């Protein structure tokens, strides 16, 4: 029996340790509350400490969700790059026909010589080597129009469309993901403090929340973490479906044999 292993499966697998942090913390807090209720005058002690304990629990919980958010969104970006690279390598023969990819004569000769020297000179291996070379070029280019940047949702959308004919076509989803990128950038690079760039970028998609203004700290709570998690799963589901529809090859969308 076989099962389709999808991009969203890989994403959930990559962030399962982040998810487990919140499960563990909730369990520990429950144990803590249970211990307070035991012993002499336990109810009175529990009630007197509950308010301060709940406040501290919320502070820790929010801090965990903020850090978890950064890790989770980073994992999504990493997987997007991996999927793109996989498609470029495994489908290069198809990509070259539909894109404006160009190689110099020197590059072509260098790649062919490497393939011949390695003994991996079948059409499939040669195409894969061209794909790897193209990915390296895109990674190192100084041209902002060609550089791979998945934190820019418009560029991400354009990249998948131009190279693989994958049309994401969900503006609401892409707008929310745009906000997730901006929030992550703020936490990771500006100590969560809202600046003009954040306000302007999030206003573009009309997702600036009440109270978010320059100088304040951006907040990430459980709701935000779950929303971002679900949004990236939806994005990866769209990519999985498009890869199947367009008959593309990727190691991130494969039928796998289940243990009987």
- Give per-residue pLDDT as tens, 121-164: 677 777 778 778 778 877 777 776 667 788 889 889 988 988 88
pTM score of the predicted model: 0.81
Q: If you search the block for the tokens 């563990």, which residue do you land on?
A: 24
Q: Is residue 142 domain-resident? A: no
Q: What is the pLDDT of residue 260?
A: 47
Within-domain flag for 109: no
Q: What is the mean pLDDT of each run of 10 residues along the chain (260 residues)?
A: 86 88 58 53 55 60 84 94 88 65 74 75 75 79 74 88 90 96 94 95 94 93 93 96 89 72
List CB contacts of 46: < 8 A, sequence separation 6 or more: 33, 36, 37
Integer CA distances (angstroms), 198 to 1, 130, 160, 216, 232, in order = 49, 38, 26, 11, 20
Altogether, the residues listed in the chain come to a count of: 260
Predicted confidence at residue 6, as pLDDT, reads 93
The confidence score (pLDDT) of residue 61 equals: 67
Q: What is the 3-state secondary structure (H, E, C) of the chain?
A: CEEEECHHHHHHHHCHHHHHHHHHHHHHHHHHHHHHCCCCCHHHHHHHHHHHHHHHHHHHHHHHHHHHHHHHHHHHHHHHHHHHHHHHHHCHHHHHHHCCCCCCHHHHHHHHHHHHHHCCCCHHHHHHHHHHHHHHHHHHCCCCCCCCCCCCHHHHHHHHHHHHCCCCCCHHHHHHHHHHHHHHHHHHHCCCECCHHHHHHHHCCCCCCCCCCCCCECCCCHHHHHHHHHHHHHHHHHHHHHHHHCCCCCCCCEEEECCC
- The per-residue pLDDT for 172 is 96
Please give the tally of structural domains in the chain.
Answer: 1
In a domain, 125, yes or no: no
Query: Is residue 70 in a domain?
Result: yes
Q: In terms of residue numbers, what domain contains 27?
A: 2-78+149-257
Report the half-sphere exposure of 143 (CA within 13 A, side-chain side). Answer: 5
Question: Would you say residue 231 lies in a domain?
Answer: yes
Please indicate, yes or no, if residue 32 is contained in any of the structural domains: yes
Cβ-based neighbours of 242, under 8 Å, separated by 6 or more: 160, 164, 165, 166, 167, 248
Flag whether 252 is in a domain.
yes
- Say if 7 falls within a structural domain: yes
């Amino acid at each position: 029996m076989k099962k389709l292993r999808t991009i969203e499966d890989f994403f959930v697998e990559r962030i399962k340790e982040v998810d487990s942090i919140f499960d563990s913390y909730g369990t520990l807090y429950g144990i803590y509350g249970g211990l307070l209720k035991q012993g002499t005058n336990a109810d009175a002690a529990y009630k007197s400490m509950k308010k301060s304990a709940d406040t501290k629990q919320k502070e820790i919980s929010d801090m965990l969700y903020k850090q978890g958010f950064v890790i989770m969104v980073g994992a999504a970006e990493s997987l997007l790059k991996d999927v793109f690279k996989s498609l470029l390598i495994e489908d290069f023969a198809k990509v070259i026909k539909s894109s404006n990819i160009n190689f110099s004569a020197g590059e072509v000769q260098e790649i062919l010589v490497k393939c011949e020297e390695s003994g991996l000179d079948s059409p499939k291996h040669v195409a894969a080597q061209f794909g790897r070379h193209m990915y390296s070029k895109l990674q190192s280019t100084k041209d902002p129009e060609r550089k791979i940047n998945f934190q820019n949702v418009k560029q991400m959308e354009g990249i998948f469309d131009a190279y693989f004919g994958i049309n994401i076509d969900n503006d609401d989803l892409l707008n929310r993901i745009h906000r997730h990128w901006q929030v992550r950038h703020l936490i990771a690079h500006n100590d969560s403090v809202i600046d003009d760039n954040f306000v302007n970028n999030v206003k573009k998609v009309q997702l600036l929340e009440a109270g978010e203004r320059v100088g304040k700290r951006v907040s990430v709570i459980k709701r935000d973490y779950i929303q971002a998690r679900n949004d990236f799963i939806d994005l990866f589901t769209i990519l999985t479906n498009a890869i199947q529809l367009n008959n593309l090859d990727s190691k991130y969308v494969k039928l796998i044999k289940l243990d009987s």
